[in-house]
Amino acid sequence: MAYLATAEICDANANLLSKGELRVLQPIFQPYGQCRAFSGPIVTLKVFEDNVLVRELLETPGEGKVLVIDGGGSMRCALVGGNIGQLAQNMGWAGLLVNGCIRDVDEINACDIGVRALGSHPLKSNKKGVGEKSVPVNVGGTVIQDGEWLYADSDGILISKMELSV
């Protein structure tokens, strides 16, 4: 997949921005992983301080998709660690957007995927298996739907109703 710069996407799609079909997430996410720029169709997951469903989803073939995890913005534990980051890479996921924390930062930074998260936290999450897959989530100031597209690079993160080209 060809790399599209988020600034160029914004410049070329002012009409989509004005209609809300292209949205810019608030600049609150920190970059992790080897891939500083990544994109793909979105799979959504809503959990809170519990990462059982995160692992279950990432055990399925990613096929270049991006998992958007709405962890409710919790800063009390990590939803993704080094083993899960490696799993995401091995299963072909393009990246992860975590509205929450990660841990094992050095391990995740060694993975050939893109990860954005609010920060890092050393405490692991609960293991109850509670959450919802493929539901609308509110992350970074916007509602994100399963099947939309995410574009991320050093300038920021965009959500589009459709795959874009410049």
- One digit per residue, the tens of pLDDT, for the chain of length 166 reads 557 899 999 999 999 999 999 999 999 999 999 999 999 999 999 999 999 999 999 999 999 999 999 999 999 999 999 999 999 999 999 999 999 999 999 999 999 999 999 999 999 999 999 999 999 999 999 999 999 999 999 999 999 999 998 6
Pick out the residues of the known binding site for Mg(2+). 104
Pick out the residues of the known binding site for substrate. 81-84, 103
What per-residue confidence (pLDDT) applies to 134? Answer: 97
How far apart are alpha carbons 56 and 94 in whole angstroms? 16
- Domains of the chain (ranges plus CATH)? 6-160 (3.50.30.40)
Concatenated DSSP letters of 23-60: EE--S-PEEESS-SSEEEEEEEEE-SSB-HHHHHHHTS
CA 36 vs. chain centroid, Å, equals 12
Pick out the residues of the known binding site. 81-84, 103-104
What per-residue confidence (pLDDT) applies to 102? Answer: 98
Going by C-alpha positions, the residue among 68, 71, 75, 49 that lies closest to residue 127 is 49
